[in-house]
Structure formats: C-alpha cells, structure tokens
Amino acid sequence: MRHAEILENIVASIQSCMPSGKDFIALHEPSFKGNEWSYVKECLDTGWVSSVGKYVDRFEEMLREYTGVKRAVAVVNGTAALHICLKLVGVERGDEVLLPALTFIATANAVSYCEAVPHFVDSSHLTMGVDPFKLDAYLHDITVVKGGVCYNKETGRRIKAIVPMHTFGHPVDLDPLMEVCQRFRLELIEDAAESLGSFYKGCHTGNVGRVSALSFNGNKIMTTGGGGAILTNDEMLGRLAKHLTTTAKLPHKWEFNHDQIGYNYRMPNLNAALGCAQLEQLPDFLQEKRALARTYQKTFARIEGVTFFAEPDFAQSNYWLNAIQVSPKYSRLRDEILQVTNERGLMTRPVWKLLCDLPMYANAPKMDLSVARELERTVINIPSSSCLGAIYV
C-alpha cells in the first residue's frame, strides 16, 4: 500500500469515530452536565470561596470512598501533590529519584523542588509506563544496598524513591515494581495524575504506593479547574500531608503558630465544589470514555500501519487519552498524521519530549531508553473527550 494511502486511511479512521457536523474536535474537553452550577453558586452566595468550606471536606471524603484509600488530601494542583508526596517519604537534597523519561514535566519538576536529582528510566511496550523487569536488571548493575539504603555506585548518591506514572490512564505493572522497590529499598510514589478511575488487578491506582498524587486539571477525566490530591493508606502520613499543605499551622481559634516549614497548597472551596459535582458523574464519564476506546480499537484493527493502544490484561484503564502507535516501519508518518488531522479540525498531539532531552535535565543520570524513544517517535494522542463516547454507550 502506498504511503499516501496509508496516511489517508489513518486520518479517515479517526474522523469516522467522531460525531458529524463539528468543525473542530478538541483533544480533551471537560463536561459540565450535573450539579456544577448549583454547588459553585452556593459558594458564591455564602461567601465560602477560599480554602475553608464544606466542599473541601466533602471532596476529600468522596475521593477516599471512590479510590478506597484511607486518606485523601485535596491540594491546589497535581504538581503540588507530587512535591508533598516526595517530602512525605523523606526525599532530601542530593537524593536521586527514579522516574520515567516519558512523562509530563511535572514529575521531574517536583523532584527538583526537593533539590533532588531525577534519574530517568525506560518504559514498557505493554503499559507505556516504567518497565519493572528492565529496571530490575539495571539497578542490579549500578547500585549497592548498604545498611538498608540504596546507593548509585556511579554517582555515590542515595537513590531514595521511584515515581512511576500511569501513562494516559494505563496502570503500570505494580506487583513486580513493588518487588523491585523491596529488593532495592526504594519508596514507591504513584504518579496517578492521569489515572482517576483506573484499576490495577481490581484495586484503584494510588493504593499500592506509600503515597500517590492525582491531578484535576481542566483536561483530566474530571476537573476542579485546577487541583490535585494526595492519597495514602498511612493515616500518620495523611495527617502530615494535610498539615504541610495548610502552611503547617497549629489549630487555634486566633493564634498563628506554625511548627515547621509548610506550603500554602490548599484547594479552595470553590474548586472543591466543582470537583464534588464532577465526581458524582465519574461513572458516566468512564462509561463514555471506554465506549469511545472500544470504537477506536475496533476501527483501527483493520488499518495497516497503526495500532490502537489498549489496556493490559491486568488492568482497567480510564482511557483518559486515547493513543495510536504508528508501526516503526512507518514512523515517518507520525508528523504527517499530526499535520493533516490538525488541519482538518481534529486535535491530535504527540507524546511528551523525553525529559532527559530538555536542557535542565540533560546531565541527569539515565538508563538505556530505547523503548521510550520508540514511543516518543511513534505514539499519537487522538480526541478523547467523554462526550465523544456518549453516542457509543
């Protein structure tokens, strides 16, 4: 089949899954069809719009119940959640923190906020997240564990933690990754920013790591406008997370006593009100998104040169962002697909540039990244809004 014909078939396949009569289809847009107006208006009417109010407590409780964790702490955004997660497990200045090279910049930036050093690891073809088996072999070669602490033999620095990210909502294979963490004495922090509504072997993401981070940015499966949350099954860490994110202020009716350096990372009541209304609709969002994913998967099964990225057998994905992967033999098509789709009003995007190739992280330690580099040059995100799947439910 000719190059131009393959390109047109791929673009036409995306178009065929879209509703007719629209000049522009966004990559991912929020859906407001529940109690958003009512809850936000209540905040405005009562004046409770800032960091104190009933919706913050209610939102945290709803998150706790849905995900199954013991404690959820709402914060201002997902990056802040990651920052505090790293602080909670004891990441300090000069430590190394393992994280995928293929992730959003926030994962590495949060490490930098702690004055720690990102150490980039490779991805798996199965999940697009951290490959626990390749990582195990790599750490066996470059580390030594002394006194219960993992050290990088090449840099001499302590390797304190790993932050796997559930890419586009597809859960990382967590069981073997936990074995790696136990073997090399690493703290596990789940970057679950993209995976609200995703389950690993029947358990919601965010339950395996000692602490985990969610994001509710405007493009996520549900949104608080801007916002995030810290999840944990450690009650003590949950209390500490709440304390640190509320400026480490000691409770008192009028005195301003703070017992350590804290952070003003509190989620405003206004945002939490929006989040409560969105969480009420999450089951519908998930049903619609999975219906869209099934449609894409069926459509692309017949198309040469491309495959739809589907959830692994051990997981149930929220399919936050749907993705197609161009066959390596046709990898030069990637940029042409991006150009043609965007010209036709279909918003598509490449995956992130590998973080180790950004100037501020160019000298950071890294392992062989051959799979991540292949994914970088072949994966395309395609329209994924929940409303697009409503016609297939």
- Reported as a single tens digit per residue, the pLDDT across 246-304 is 999 999 999 999 999 999 999 999 999 999 999 999 999 999 999 999 999 999 999 99
pLDDT for 107-147, tens place per residue?
A: 999 999 999 999 999 999 999 999 999 999 999 999 999 99
Mean pLDDT of the chain: 97
How many C-alpha atoms does 115 have within 13 Å on its Cβ side?
Answer: 3
Place of tokens 């909502």: 169
- Reduced to 3 DSSP states, what percent helix, strand and coil does the chain have, rounded to the nearest 5? 40, 20, 40
Domain limits of the chain?
3-27+282-392, 36-280
The DSSP bridge pattern shows strands 228-232 and 211-215 to be antiparallel
pTM for this structure? 0.97
The DSSP bridge pattern shows strands 203-204 and 149-152 to be unpaired
What's the CA gap between 92 and 86, in Å, rounded? 9
- Residue 330 pLDDT level (bands cut at 50, 70, 90): confident
CA dihedral defined by 78, 82, 83, 84, rounded to 10 degrees?
Answer: 100
Q: What is the mean pLDDT of residues 223-239?
A: 97
CA torsion sign, 123 to 124 to 129 to 130?
negative
Per-residue CA distances from 47 to 37, 53, 234, 269 (Å): 15, 9, 34, 10
Residue 335 CB: number of other CB atoms within 10 A? 13
Of the candidates 244, 174, 236, 180, the residue with the CA atom closest to the CA atom of residue 203: 174
- Could you tell me which CATH number the domain at 36-280 has? 3.40.640.10
- Residue 328 pLDDT level (bands cut at 50, 70, 90): confident
**Helical H runs in the chain?**
3-16, 36-46, 54-67, 78-88, 105-113, 132-142, 174-184, 235-245, 269-280, 282-300, 333-343, 370-378, 386-389
DSSP characters for 227-295? -EEEEES-HHHHHHHHHHHBTTBPP-SS---B-S---B-BPPHHHHHHHHHHHHTHHHHHHHHHHHHHH
- Could you tell me which CATH number the domain at 3-27+282-392 has? 3.90.1150.10
Q: Residue 1 pLDDT > 70, yes or no?
A: no
Would you state the structure tokens that stand for residue 347, as one six-digit string? 């918003």
Q: Residue 184 pLDDT > 70, yes or no?
A: yes
Go through the chain and tell me how many residues it has: 393
- Residue 329 pLDDT level (bands cut at 50, 70, 90): confident
